[in-house]
Amino acid sequence: MSIIYFLIGCSIILALVFLGAFFWAQRHGQHDDLYTPSVRILLDDQPADETKK
Amino acid sequence: MAIDTITQSTCYHCGNDCTEGHYHFDEKSFCCVGCRGVYQVLSQSGLCNYYTYNDHPGANRARLDKRFEYLDEPKIVNDLIDYTDDKITVVTLYIPYIHCSSCIWLLEQLNRINPAIYYSRIDFLKKQVNVRFSNDGMNLRQLVELLFDIGYEPLISLQDIVKKQLTGQKDNLVRKIAVAGFCFGNVMLISFPEYLGLSEYEQTFRQFFGWLNILFSLPMVFYSGTEYFVSAWNNLRNKVLNIDFPLALGIAVLFIRTVAEILLHTGPGFADTLCGLVFFLLVGKFVQRKTYYHISFERDYRSFFPVAVQVMEEGKEKPLPLSELKVGQRIRIRHNEIIPADAILLQGEALVDFSFVTGESVPVAKTLGEVVYAGGRQTGEALELEVIKPVSQSYLTQLWNNEAFTRQQDNRMRTFNETVSKYFTIVLLVVAFGSLFFWMPADIGRGLSAFTAVLIVACPCALALSTPFTMSAALSIFDRNFFYLKNTAVVEQLARINTIVLDKTGTITTGGSSNAISRHAEFTDLEKQIIYTLCSNSSHPLSRQICQVMGEQPRLAISAYKEIPGKGISAFVNSHQVKIGSASFMHHGVAVNSGTEVHIMIDDVYCGAFIFKQSFRNGLREIFGLKPQYKFYLLSGDQDHERAAMAEFFGDDGYMHFKKSPQEKLDFIKSLQLADRKVMMIGDGLNDSGALKQSDLGVAITDDVNNFSPGSDAILDGKSLCKLPAFFRFSKDTVNIIHISFLISLTYNLIGLSYAVTGNLSPLIAAILMPLSTATIISFTSIATHVAAKKRKLL
C-alpha cells in the first residue's frame, strides 16, 4: 500500500501545478474582463476589402 | 408599407424620431447632421456592419460643438496616457456610451478608419477602450476626435474614476480564495479515509495524513484567514464585538486543537472543518463585494468641471489645465460649457444655467462687470471672463469643502448583523466557559474538549454568510431595475427609511432649463414673425425659450422697444403694436393658474399665451402612494412659484420648503433626524450634496447613470422612480429573509452545541454540520430573495 504515498504526492503536485496556472492567469490579467470575450466571439470577421453598405 | 414608414421616421443611426427637415444619405434617414456624419465616416471605411448587429446602435449626435484643443497640451496628455515612447502611445479611455455588441465590434475595428491605430480593445463592463497607436500617424487629440466623430465621446475628467477604482482593489481576495479552495479540496480528500475507518495495518497512514492536514491548514490560517484575525483585533481595540471575533476565535481554536490532536495522537483533528470554514467565509466575502465599474458614488466637483479651459493670451486662445488657472487670467466660455471659477463678465451676453448648483430652474442673465460664480453652464453666445478666484477657492468648491459636507458618517444605522453578533459573541463565550467550568473539577481533558468544541461548532459561519448572500442577490435585483446601491449595507438602510425628502428641480421635475412650453394659441405666420422679432430683442430667459419654440423666423422692422422688468416687453413691429408679458401687463389677460405664463397681445387683440411648466418625472404619483406610512418633504433651492402645483403632492405647506441654501438643506435633514426620523434624501444637483451626505440614505437621481451625479449611497435612474414603493417593500422582505436565515443558522448551532457541551464532538459531525448549514443558508437566501422579487414585480 506504500503506493499511496506516491499517488498522494503526485496528486498534490498536480494540484499545485493547477494552482500555479491559476495564479499565472490572474497575474496576466486573464480574469480582468470576464464579459467582453463572450460577445466578441459572436462577431464575424470581415474581409478588409469589403465595402458593402 | 408599414415597415417603410417606420424606416422613414426614425434615424438610421440613433433611432430617434426624425422631425421635419431630416437628412438623407444612401436612402437612409437621419435625424441630424451629426448622425449622418457618423454614418458617412463608417460607410467610407466599410464599417457598415455596425448597423447589422443591432438596430440603431448609435448615440444621438445633435451636438457638434465639442472642442478638444486642450489635448494638444503635453501636461494634460501626460496625465491621461498609460505609456508612451518614441514610436507608440498606449491610452485607456472611458467611454460611457459603450452599450452593445455593435460598440465592441466598431471600436475594435478602429484601425480600418485610421491605420495609425495598431490595436484597440474594449472592456465592456468597465466601458473602457484600450488603444495603442503610432505617434507618427496621430496624436491623442486626433484619436479623441476620431472617437467623437463616430459617436463615442470619451469622458475625460480631472478625477479619473476608473483608474482610482483599480488601485483601490489590492487585497488579493481571489488569490486567497484560490489557495483556500486548493487546501480545502486536498484536506477533504485526505480526511476521508479517517471517516471511512482505517484498518489495523493502515495505521501508519494516519500519521502521514495528519501531518499533511497540518501542512494544508498552515496557509489557510496564516494566509487566507489572516484578515479575520486583523479585523477581530482592531475591533477589540475599539471595544466593538463584531462577527469577526467569534470567527477568528473559531479559526484559531480549530487550528490549535487540530495540531494538538495530531501531535498527541489523540484524534484526527478538524482540519477539514477549518478549511471549509475559511473557504466558505471568503466566498461569502467575494459575493458581497459588488463593484459597478462604470458608476462612481464618490464623485466630487472635480469630475463636474472640464479638464481644461480656453485662456486668452495676447489675443490668442490657448488651452490651459484647470489646475493652473490663475487669478487675473481671461477665459473664454462657449455655449454649453461650464464656468470653472468665480469670474467677472467682460464680454458677451451671459445667460447662465445654475440649475445644478442652486436648484434654480430658470437660467440667470448676467450683465457686464457682474461676478459669475463657478458651476454655471453658459447657454448662448461665447463669453469672456476674468478669473477673480482660483478654482479651489470658488464659492462652489468652498461649499464642497465645508466641514459639514465632508464630515465622516457616524450617524449611520447599525446593521442587523452588527447588533446580533455582539450578543451572539457574549452568549457563545458564556456557554464555552460554562461547559469548561462544568467539566473541569472532574475531568480537565473533557472540559477543554468541550470548551473548544463549543467554539468550533458555534462558529457563526452560516450567520456570517446569510447577510452577504441575501444582500448580493437583492443588489442584483435592484440593479436590474436601474437602482444602483453603493454596497450591501444600503439595502438594510432602505428598509428602515420612514421619511422621504425630495429636491424639486431635476428630481421631481425633469431637466433644468428644458421646461415644457405649451402654446395656448394658434399663430399665423405673420404673428410668429412678430413674436420672434420682439422676443429676439430681449435677453430674458423666457424670451429666449419662446424664440426657440418659434424656430428661425425672418426678423421684421422694430421700433419703440420697451422692456419693463418683471412685467414684459412692448414695441411696434411692422407698425403693429405688440405686448408680451405677464397677465397684469395685458390688462385683460386670461389667467391660467399653473406655471409661469407669458401672454401675447397684438394691436390690442389678445392672441393667447405660453405656459412654462416644468414637466414632472413619470411615476411621481406612484411614489406618493406610500403615504401615510412614509412622510414626504419637498426641499428646493428654487423660488416658490410652483408651490401650488406641488401642493397636490405634498399636501399642506408645512411639508414644502423653498429657497433653501445647500447648508439649510443639510440642517433641515439634521432636524428631521433629531426628531428620530430615518431620512432618505433624493436629489440630483450639487446643491443637494450636503443633504445627501447627512441623510440616512442619499439617493442621486439621474437620467444617465454615467453622467455626473453628486456623491451618494445609491444612484437611481430617473425612469425607475415609479418603482420606489416596490423597492421599499422588497428591501423589507430582504431584511426578513436575513432574520429567517439567522434563525436557521441558530438552529444548526444549537444542534451542534448539544453535542459540543458534552465534550463528545466527533470531527465527522463537525465536518457534516458546517457545510450542510452553509448550503442550506445559501440556497434558502437565494431562492427566497427571488421569490420576494417576483412578488414585488421586480423580476
- B537-589 pLDDT tens trace: 776 667 777 777 777 777 788 888 887 776 778 888 888 888 888 777 776 54
Better-scored residue on pLDDT, B700 or B417: B700
Note the pLDDT tens digit of each residue in B77-93.
887 788 888 888 888 88
Question: What pLDDT is stored for residue B310 in this prediction?
Answer: 83
Evaluate whether B244 touches B235 at the Cβ level (below 8 Å).
yes
The interface residues of chain B toward chain A in range 43-72, judged by CB-CB distance below 8 A, are: 43, 46, 48-49, 53
The reply to whether B545 and B487 lie within a common domain is no
Q: Residue A4's closest chain B neighbor by CA?
A: B205
CB-CB neighbors (< 8 A) of B201 in chain A = 1
Question: What pLDDT is stored for residue B125 in this prediction?
Answer: 82
Q: According to the 3-state scheme, what is the secondary structure of B538-576? A: CCCHHHHHHHHHHCCCCCCCEEEEEEECCCEEEEEECCE
The interface residues of chain B toward chain A in range 765-794, judged by CB-CB distance below 8 A, are: none
Question: What pLDDT is stored for residue A21 in this prediction?
Answer: 95
Q: Residue A17's closest chain B neighbor by CA?
A: B182
Note the pLDDT tens digit of each residue in B196-241.
877 777 778 888 889 999 999 999 999 999 999 999 999 889 887 8
CB-CB neighbors (< 8 A) of A5 in chain B = 208
Q: H/E element holding B766?
A: helix B763-791
Evaluate whether B703 touches B510 at the Cβ level (below 8 Å).
yes
Cβ–Cβ below 8 Å for B125 and A36: yes
**Final residue before a domain boundary, out of B714, B732, B750:** B732
Order the strands of the B568-573 sheet from edge to edge. Answer: B516-519, B605-613, B596-602, B576-581, B568-573, B558-564
The reply to whether B532 and B546 lie within a common domain is yes
Smallest Cβ distance to B124: which of A35, A44, A49? A35
Please list, in sequence order, all residues whose beta carbon lies within 8 angstroms of the beta carbon of residue B434, skipping any fewer than 6 positions away: B757
Terminal Cα distance for chain A, rounded? 72
Q: Residue A16's closest chain B neighbor by CA?
A: B182
Q: Quick one: average pLDDT of B117-145?
A: 87
Q: Quick one: average pLDDT of B705-710?
A: 69
**Average pLDDT per block of 10 residues along chain A, 53 residues long:** 88 94 90 84 64 42
Q: Give Cα separations from B282 to A23, B54, B187, B532, B790 (angstroms).
A: 17, 40, 17, 68, 29
The reply to whether B40 and B176 lie within a common domain is no
> What is the identity of the amino acid at B231?
S
Is residue B429 one of the residues assigned to a domain?
Answer: no
Q: Residue A31's closest chain B neighbor by CA?
A: B174
Question: What pLDDT is stored for residue B218 in this prediction?
Answer: 95
Q: According to the 3-state scheme, what is the secondary structure of B261-307? A: HHHCCCCCCCHHHHHHHHHHHHHHHHHHCCCCCCCCCCCCHHHHCCC
Is residue B787 one of the residues assigned to a domain?
Answer: no
Is residue B446 one of the residues assigned to a domain?
Answer: no
CB-CB neighbors (< 8 A) of A52 in chain B = 46, 48-49
* CA dihedral of residues B412, B415, B418, B421 (deg, nearest 10): 160
Determine the Cα–Cα distance for residues B198 and A49; give it in Å rounded to an integer: 71
Least-confidence region, from B480-484, B646-650, B714-718 = B646-650
Smallest Cβ distance to A26: which of B105, B175, B208? B175
Model confidence at B779, pLDDT cuts 50, 70, 90, reads very high
Among residues B94, B121, B123, B92, the alpha carbon closest in space to that of B108 is found at B121
Please list the residues that pair with B782 across neighbouring strands: none
The reply to whether B29 and B95 lie within a common domain is no
Determine the Cα–Cα distance for residues B400 and B212; give it in Å rounded to an integer: 58
Cell of B512: 433644468
pTM across the whole model: 0.80
DSSP classification of residue B201 = G
Q: Does A30 touch chain B (CB under 8 A)?
A: no
Is residue B779 one of the residues assigned to a domain?
Answer: no
Q: Residue A2's closest chain B neighbor by CA?
A: B205
Q: Residue B173's closest chain A neighbor by CA?
A: A26
Size of chain B, expressed as the number of residues it contains: 795
Is residue B359 one of the residues assigned to a domain?
Answer: yes
Q: Give Cα separations from B264 to B30, B212, B268, B269, B409 (angstroms).
A: 83, 15, 10, 11, 51
Smallest Cβ distance to A36: which of B123, B189, B208? B123
Model confidence at B166, pLDDT cuts 50, 70, 90, reads low
Cβ–Cβ below 8 Å for A50 and B185: no
Model confidence at B614, pLDDT cuts 50, 70, 90, reads low
Q: ∠ CA B66-B70-B76 to the nearest 5 degrees? A: 135
**Final residue before a domain boundary, out of B363, B391, B419:** B391
Evaluate whether B748 touches B772 at the Cβ level (below 8 Å).
yes
Q: How do beta strands B350-353 and B377-378 pair?
A: antiparallel
Is residue B109 one of the residues assigned to a domain?
Answer: yes
Least-confidence region, from B373-377, B443-447, B550-554, B622-626 = B550-554
Note the pLDDT tens digit of each residue in B298-328.
666 666 777 788 888 877 778 888 878 888 8
Least-confidence region, from A18-27, B125-134, B335-344, B606-615 = B606-615
Question: What pLDDT is stored for residue B519 in this prediction?
Answer: 67
Q: Does B104 touch chain A (CB under 8 A)?
A: yes
Model confidence at B400, pLDDT cuts 50, 70, 90, reads low
The reply to whether B703 and B558 lie within a common domain is no
Size of interface A-B (CB pairs under 8 A): 61
Question: What pLDDT is stored for residue B639 in this prediction?
Answer: 74
Instruction: State the CATH number of the domain containing residue B595.
Output: 3.40.1110.10
Mark B748-773 as b/e (b = at least 16 C-beta within 10 Å).
bbeebbebbbebebebebbbebbbeb
Q: Does B82 touch chain A (CB under 8 A)?
A: no
Q: What share of chain A is helix, strand, coil (3-state, %, to 5)?
A: 55, 0, 45
Cell of A37: 470575450
Instruction: State the CATH number of the domain containing residue B77.
Output: 3.30.70.100
Cβ–Cβ below 8 Å for B125 and A40: no
Cβ–Cβ below 8 Å for A42 and B101: yes
Among residues B271, B230, B272, the alpha carbon closest in space to that of B248 is found at B230
Three-state secondary-structure class, residue A28? coil
The reply to whether B94 and B146 lie within a common domain is yes
Instruction: State the CATH number of the domain containing residue B683.
Output: 3.40.50.1000
Terminal Cα distance for chain B, rounded? 37
CB-CB neighbors (< 8 A) of A9 in chain B = none
Domain count, chain B: 6
The reply to whether B209 and B285 lie within a common domain is yes
Smallest Cβ distance to A35: which of B46, B125, B208? B125
Better-scored residue on pLDDT, B167 or A27: A27
Determine the Cα–Cα distance for residues B381 and B362; give it in Å rounded to an integer: 17
Q: Quick one: average pLDDT of B501-526?
A: 70
Determine the Cα–Cα distance for residues B557 and B550; give it in Å rounded to an integer: 18
The reply to whether B527 and B627 lie within a common domain is no
Q: According to the 3-state scheme, what is the secondary structure of B677-731? A: CCEEEEECCHHHHHHHHHCCEEEEEECCCCCCCCCCCEEEEHHHHHHHHHHHHHH
Cα distance from B110 to chain A (closest Cα, Å)?
A: 12
Whether the per-residue pLDDT at B243 is higher than 70: the answer is: yes
Residue to mutate among A30, A33, A35, A41, with most B CBs inside 10 A, is A33
The reply to whether B595 and B564 lie within a common domain is yes
Q: Read off φ and ψ for residue B715, nearest 5 degrees.
A: -120, 125
Whether the per-residue pLDDT at B460 is higher than 50: the answer is: yes
Q: Does B223 touch chain A (CB under 8 A)?
A: no
Q: Does B693 touch chain A (CB under 8 A)?
A: no
Cβ–Cβ below 8 Å for B101 and A5: no
Please list, in sequence order, all residues whose beta carbon lies within 8 angstroms of the beta carbon of residue B650, skipping any fewer than 6 positions away: B632, B633, B634, B656
Q: Does A13 touch chain B (CB under 8 A)?
A: no
Note the pLDDT tens digit of each residue in B186-195.
999 888 888 8
Instruction: Provide the residue range defining the domain that includes B713.
Output: 481-511+617-732
Evaluate whether B108 touches B117 at the Cβ level (below 8 Å).
no
CB-CB neighbors (< 8 A) of B26 in chain A = 53
Evaluate whether B256 touches B271 at the Cβ level (below 8 Å).
no
The reply to whether B506 and B520 lie within a common domain is no
The reply to whether B178 and B206 lie within a common domain is yes
Determine the Cα–Cα distance for residues A42 and A51; give it in Å rounded to an integer: 21
Question: What pLDDT is stored for residue B1 in this prediction?
Answer: 37
The reply to whether B719 and B681 lie within a common domain is yes
Is residue B335 one of the residues assigned to a domain?
Answer: yes
Model confidence at B708, pLDDT cuts 50, 70, 90, reads low
Name residue, grid cell 448550503. B775
Is residue B34 one of the residues assigned to a domain?
Answer: yes
DSSP classification of residue B484 = E
Cα distance from A10 to chain B (closest Cα, Å)?
A: 12
Note the pLDDT tens digit of each residue in B657-667.
888 888 888 88
Q: Residue B208's closest chain A neighbor by CA?
A: A5
Cα distance from A41 to chain B (closest Cα, Å)?
A: 10
Smallest Cβ distance to A36: which of B43, B124, B175? B124
Among residues B153, B151, B152, the alpha carbon closest in space to that of B40 is found at B151
Whether the per-residue pLDDT at B7 is higher than 50: the answer is: no
Instruction: State the CATH number of the domain containing residue B381.
Output: 2.70.150.10
Question: What pLDDT is stored for residue B592 in this prediction?
Answer: 47
- B100-103 long-range CB contacts below 8 Å, 24 or more apart? B100/B53, B100/B54, B100/B57, B101/A39, B101/A42, B101/A43, B101/B53, B101/B54, B102/B50, B102/B51, B102/B53, B102/B54, B102/B57, B103/B57, B103/B152
Smallest Cβ distance to A22: which of B104, B124, B178? B178
Q: Residue A27's closest chain B neighbor by CA?
A: B175
Helices (H) then strands (E): counts for chain B: 29, 28
